[in-house]
Structure 1
Amino acid sequence: MGFKNLLCSYEFMASLLVQVGMLREADGLLFDLEGEEISLDNHEIFSYLIEGYVNMKELERSVFVYDFMRGHGMISLRLCYHVLVDLLVRIQRTELAFRISVDMLDFCGKLNCANAKTLENLVILICGNGKILEARNIVKKVLPFNPEVSSFVFDEIAFAYCEKKDFNDLLSFFVEVKRVQSVVATNRVINSLCSSYNVKMAGFFMQELENIGFKLDEVTYGILIGWSCREGNMKNSMNYLSLMLSEGLVPRIYTYNTLISGLFKVVLLEHARHILNEMMDRGTPPDISTFRVLIAGYCRSRRFDLVKSLIHEMDNGGLLNFRQWRIHFPGRLPFWDLTL
């Protein structure tokens, strides 16, 4: 009676109980000691206890033990952080996952691949909940130790900012971390900027991204050209076309079609034909949609002589297939018959 074991004896007993899966018994021993004001500051035992609870899907108990550790100034093992955050992400307990992930980043330094992947999934989850500030804070903490953060993470942050239409904050984030999202995500941002504001705002955004290494592709230019045409600013659209060609990029056919349609809207009929010649010279043959745009434009301008010429071009190019038309649309005249 009254005999007290050494601390190392308690540590040995608790460790053995955890190893054989008797978590409740180990848990009871550790907290009974706390009640007797015997502090067992062995972070490994507590970490393994948390890991055991996580494996048994006893989330609340694992978080309770974790908070007890933190309250006593103990730092968990890296694996403990990983399994706990991973579970919280999988069951979408976002706030808890974020809180513990911040501790992991503060105390673990460089992350391994598994840790980094878990945090990437957390960032995606946080962005989906609209908590962009928390997501970008995690990324900023990760980058100094793990610069190879997946571009998918930056895409999700960009998409979240797009939803909020907070383009200034998005730009400041990418300038700060000197990283940009993928071309696909950037094109979505540019299109959203044009839709919400104007091409001028989108152009400014693009210049800032180019300063930190982003390269425009033919789709990016196509978006800027398309919205410039919609705004009736054909000078701007032709400037973007010139820049695009100077960089060796080949416009998509829908970009050419948009340009032709835009020229008709401002009654520049002769330039529309120049665009047609330009696209053929650069190896982009016009398709049925191109000729539809041209015929519609010439009809509105009452230039039926040019309409007739275009239809002959279509016939010579094999784009007029009366037999296929009759099969798919029996009893109906093709649009070129109606035009003439």
Structure 2
Amino acid sequence: MVNGYCEANLIKKSYELFLILSNQGNISKGSCFKLLDKLCKADGIQEAIMLLDTVMALNVGLGKIMYYKAIAAMCQDGKLEYARSLFHLFIKKGFTPDLITYTIMINTYCRINYLQKAHELFEDMKRKGIKPDVVTYTVILDGNLKANLRRHFLSPSGKRTWDVTSLWREMQQMEITQDVVSYTVLIDGQIRAANFQDAISLFDEMVDRGIQPDTVTYSAMISGFCIRGNMEKDDTLLKEMSSKGMTPDSDLISAFKRGIMKARKDKWKTLVHTAKISPQQRRGEPVPQDLLNRVLTAHAYWCHHQAKQHGHGKNRALTMKTPEASAGELSVGAVLVIM
């Protein structure tokens, strides 16, 4: 009946029936877990704590496991403050959290930007002889990188930054094998901080160690180089993705298009600077023929590249030729519109 009320979302009736049955010593493991999950998701924090206390008093061996489940359920449902309260209550009752619970709470503190608390828990678990695993390190690495980025934009100087490098080195010293997720977190963090060379080094290191990049890794790299307008590097990465059967999503395609536009503008600025175009020519006077040829060739290349990558037209990319025009027919202003 407890399960039935839970399935019907009649949480209050389910809880009342549970109390009656528990007084008779008649509870089932499945019913406890189901009701606890429902209470956590329905803001029934006090009822959830009462249920936990009842189960512990019955000494049926479910108390500790159910605390783990309750903390995890609250974190998953976004009730982070409730999860914090329950975690500290759990410790006050004399329990020692396990690796998973520590990791969940470290992640919770990182999500609400309580990095100091996250680090305190991280050190506490190590003091108690609980060895962090690759997931724990990845969680705190990600939290630190995001916190450093926030500090950089909000207050570029005078604020504490978290040492990500020492955490990465600590993982290696503890012989914790980094995986694709931990590498991707660090690569993405370096790209967001505009440390592109460090991101490339990490990407190459990952591949050299036999860890294959996934779609998220490639997306982080490609998005970063799109921002820089480095379309040659992006082209290589996209080809790698394709060869491994990975398909870029719509966000990545949009980023790639923006990168192409940036590359076009950068190329135009370089051409203008190299050719030393006069102010008169910028206002619409004829373009020198050699500059015109170079600009049109660059334009044709990028049109070809864009059409090929995004499938715009069956034959357009293959038949694209540099338009023929004379310097007297096209002005610098018109070339800028093309670009």
The TM-score normalised by the length of structure 1 is 0.52
> Which residue identity does 2:138 align to in structure 1?
G
Superposed counterparts of 1:303-314, under 5 Å: 308=232
Q: CA deviation at 1:155?
A: 1.8
Superposed counterparts of 1:228-267, under 5 Å: 228-232=144-148, 235-267=162-194
Whichever of the two has the greater Rg, that structure is: 1
3-state DSSP class of the match of 1:165?
Answer: helix
CA 247–133 in structure 1, closer or farther in 2 if over 3 Å, else same: farther
- Alignment partner of 1:156 is 2:55: no
Residue 331 of structure 1 corresponds to which residue in structure 2? 312
- Counterpart contact for 1:222–1:255, Cα < 8 Å: yes
- Counterpart contact for 1:123–1:135, Cα < 8 Å: yes
Relative contact order, CA 8 A, sep 6+: which one is greater? Answer: 2
- Alignment partner of 1:130 is 2:43: yes
- TM-superposition CA deviations, 1:281-310 (whole Å, max 9, x none): 3321335654554455456557x5xx6467
Provide the aligned C-alpha RMSD in A: 4.4
Q: CA deviation at 1:266?
A: 3.5
CA 214–155 in structure 1, closer or farther in 2 if over 3 Å, else same: farther
- Counterpart contact for 1:187–1:223, Cα < 8 Å: yes
CA 250–310 in structure 1, closer or farther in 2 if over 3 Å, else same: farther
- Alignment partner of 1:274 is 2:214: no
- Counterpart contact for 2:74–2:80, Cα < 8 Å: yes
Superposed counterparts of 1:186-201, under 5 Å: 189-201=105-117
How far apart are the structure 1 equivalents of 2:220 and 2:63?
45
Residue 50 of structure 1 corresponds to which residue in structure 2? none
> Which residue identity does 1:123 align to in structure 2?
L
How far apart are the structure 1 equivalents of 2:243 and 2:31?
56
Q: Please point out which of 10, 16, 38 is paired with 1:96.
A: 16
Residue 220 of structure 1 corresponds to which residue in structure 2? 136
Residue 6 of structure 1 corresponds to which residue in structure 2? none
CA 133–181 in structure 1, closer or farther in 2 if over 3 Å, else same: farther
Count, aligned residues: 238
> Which residue identity does 1:263 align to in structure 2?
Q
> Which residue identity does 1:121 align to in structure 2?
K
- Counterpart contact for 1:225–1:236, Cα < 8 Å: no
How far apart are the structure 1 equivalents of 2:120 and 2:96?
17
- Alignment partner of 1:146 is 2:63: no
How far apart are the structure 1 equivalents of 2:220 and 2:16?
56
% identity of equivalent residues: 17
Residue 95 of structure 2 corresponds to which residue in structure 1? 178
- Counterpart contact for 1:143–1:149, Cα < 8 Å: yes
- Counterpart contact for 1:88–1:96, Cα < 8 Å: no
- Counterpart contact for 1:193–1:199, Cα < 8 Å: yes
How far apart are the structure 2 equivalents of 1:289 and 1:125?
33
How far apart are the structure 2 equivalents of 1:300 and 1:86?
53
- Counterpart contact for 1:140–1:177, Cα < 8 Å: no
CA 284–180 in structure 1, closer or farther in 2 if over 3 Å, else same: same
Residue 259 of structure 2 corresponds to which residue in structure 1? none
How far apart are the structure 1 equivalents of 2:310 and 2:112?
40
- TM-superposition CA deviations, 1:240-272 (whole Å, max 9, x none): 323333343333424323322322444434422
Q: Please point out which of 204, 215, 226 is paired with 2:120.
A: 204
- Counterpart contact for 2:29–2:62, Cα < 8 Å: no
**Higher mean C-alpha deviation, range 208-217 or range 158-167:** 208-217
How far apart are the structure 2 equivalents of 1:86 and 1:295?
49
> Which residue identity does 2:23 align to in structure 1?
D
> Which residue identity does 2:171 align to in structure 1?
M
> Which residue identity does 1:159 align to in structure 2?
A
**Unaligned 5+ residue runs, structure 1?**
1-82, 335-340
- Counterpart contact for 2:107–2:139, Cα < 8 Å: yes
How far apart are the structure 1 equivalents of 2:218 and 2:38?
46
- Counterpart contact for 1:132–1:157, Cα < 8 Å: no
